Structure 1
Amino acid sequence: MSARPTIILHTDKPAGALAVLAETHPDLDVHGCDTYADLPALIERTSAEVVYSIRFDGTPRYPRQALVESPTVRWVSIGGSGTDHLGRWDPTHVTVTNSAGVAAGMLAEYALGAMLSFSLDLRGFERRQQARQWGGGRVEPIEGKTVLIIGLGKTGEAVARRARAMGMRTLGIRSRPKPMPSLDEVHGPDALPALIGRADFIVCCVPLLPTTRGLLGEAAFAAMKPSAVLIDISRGGVVDEAALLSALDNGRIKGAALDVFTTEPLPAEHLLWGYDNVAVTPHCAAVYDGWDIKSVRMFADNLARYRKGQPLENVVNPERGY
């Protein structure tokens, strides 16, 4: 750690990020980089100690090795909350932080919007409108319904607060259970099979880890109510897509709202595009106007701590993934 580290801002929109650092840390040497390919050489040329990085062009080409194995980089600040695209890293060599909470409210609004869309049958009414058909369809309240939130980080907590405000019963799962103000019940991961059958809506908010890959598979879908709706705002791979397709084909769930997928972009030939009871969005639930600047400001605040030798916020444990 040094008081005047060299910084790289690795984002597809470096101008705004550079402006924030010019305002908050005007004495530092700061470089922008808007491609994956150019980052390794820039790190080597500048001997950068700190890199703020956003995954803006998918995972396969993401330059993880240049970040977590660099001889000079000591801190990688991820602009979003997920860190699975970094793979494993040695925390004695490099510290990784994330921007957990930067989009928690927006993700929670997405989840609430999906619940309302299904309870109000908005997709069905849209189809009838296109057909100029009067009548048919029905609305029902979400008040009194039960939502199961899998993963109670900042996003899961935000979902719970909004659901509670709508009069819903809130159940939650977290790795270390403890009472939480907006949750009626909080359980550990082992309780998933028992809880999932009680839920009208299942909201998935967990990171992608070896322990969460395929978490919602055949057994989970078999235990769901036929009237249940799955909302996935986690990471592609947490939901077993083959099991989901089988559940949809056999009417074992009411539908799904999906913002993340095992393969992104979702291939045009993928079967999920074709279901009337599935809402597909392109991994955009956390992307709102100004989120990137908010994330950079969080980084700038953490950078002030770093320069003073103070503990950083949102340090990610590579074993837990959060």
Structure 2
Amino acid sequence: MSRKPTVILHTNSPAPALEALRADHGDLDIHTCDNYSGLPGLVARTGAEVVYSVRFAGTPQFPRPALVESPTVRWVSVGGSGTDHLQPWDPREVTVTNAAGVAANMMAEYVLGAMLSFSLDLRGFQRRQRERQWAPRPMRPVEGRTVLILGLGKTGQAVAQRAKAMGMTVIGVRAQPAAIASVDEVHGAQELPALWPRADFIVVCVPLLPDTRGLVGPDALAAIKSGTFLIDVSRGGVVDQAALMAALDAGHLAGAALDVFETEPLPPENPLWAYENVTITPHCSSIYDGWDLKAVRMFSDNLARYRRGEPLQNVVVPQRGY
């Protein structure tokens, strides 16, 4: 290795990351930062060329300019998959990579769990249990039902694999349609008007971009068939929250599992908290024991490429968001 860049680890728990990185790159000058406010000053003082960063305290106050507008930072490695909190950036000035795939399997399990919970009406059984009601009712399988996956990146493909194994029909949408294993049909976004009514479950996995903001909005939710369930593991803003609540109020949308929101944390006064048929999780579908070190190891491998002058993996094209 010939290059010796100064590196910053920007996470809320930097000690394990630092230990893992030093095992592979002990000759480098590595600094840590565990908050948002201190990062700009640290970048300026160290003249860091490489920053590994996790969006650990939400998007508000995230120190975006310190990363993508810095005169010294040439590479920002995001510890997750989403990069909307860095938009916009000039790829001629700074390279942005992500850790796409590090949480794909966990997020797919979240999606599968939500689909099974809705299909089996587990919330209804819990409610009747609290009321001490013995009320047998037939189970409804997911087998034979149709899932529409918006976004067929690594997470979407992991969802497709599990859904197909459960005997579901899998329809997917991606920017550049091409055949994908475990997906029965792959379409472009322009075909969505004809796809909404076919879905029993809609799974949202797309990045937040100008052309995906509000993608699941009033028109989409008006087009779905009654009894459809929505599962959102993308970014707040892809699903129009007001349109979602209107569809729930009308009884058109049967339920939703939401891991992301337009405002995070979701304010206590937000009406979504009160919906009996909505599952709310605090943007944690990608979090599991060991995910952070797995992401750091991906960064470490990429850092070795960077030092050797080789092309980086998982480079994000800003216009695509992945």
Deviation readout 1:95-146 (Å, 9 max, x if unpaired): 0000000000000000000000001100000111111111154421000110
The reply to whether residue 53 of structure 1 matches residue 48 of structure 2 is no
SS of 1:110's partner is: helix
| Contact 1:124/1:137 (8 A) holds in 2 | no
Aligned length: 322
Q: 1:225 offset after TM fit, Å?
A: 1.2
Partner of 1:217: 217
Distance 2:253 2:40 in 1: 46
Amino acid aligned to 1:72 = T
Partner of 1:76: 76
The reply to whether residue 29 of structure 1 matches residue 29 of structure 2 is yes
The reply to whether residue 95 of structure 1 matches residue 100 of structure 2 is no
Distance 1:154 1:215 in 2: 20
Partner of 2:237: 237
Amino acid aligned to 1:175 = A
Q: 1:2 offset after TM fit, Å?
A: 6.7
TM-score normalised to structure 2 length: 0.99
Partner of 2:108: 108
Q: 1:92 offset after TM fit, Å?
A: 0.7
SS of 1:111's partner is: helix
| Contact 1:231/1:258 (8 A) holds in 2 | yes
Distance 1:34 1:159 in 2: 33
| Contact 1:125/1:137 (8 A) holds in 2 | no
Partner of 1:320: 320
SS of 1:257's partner is: strand
Identity %: 68
Structure 2's unaligned 5+ residue stretches are none
Distance 2:296 2:196 in 1: 37
Distance 1:137 1:50 in 2: 57
Higher alpha-carbon deviation: 133-142 or 267-276: 133-142
Amino acid aligned to 2:189 = P
Amino acid aligned to 1:23 = A
Distance 2:104 2:255 in 1: 23
Partner of 1:186: 186
Q: 1:303 offset after TM fit, Å?
A: 0.2
Deviation readout 1:193-223 (Å, 9 max, x if unpaired): 1011101000000000000000001110111
Q: 1:60 offset after TM fit, Å?
A: 1.1
Distance 2:9 2:181 in 1: 37
Amino acid aligned to 2:166 = M
The reply to whether residue 134 of structure 1 matches residue 143 of structure 2 is no
Distance 1:131 1:182 in 2: 41
Q: Say if 1:272 and 1:63 are closer, same or farther in 2 by CA, change over 3 A.
A: same
Amino acid aligned to 1:267 = P
Structure 1's unaligned 5+ residue stretches are none
Partner of 1:11: 11
TM-score normalised to structure 1 length: 0.99
Distance 2:71 2:290 in 1: 33
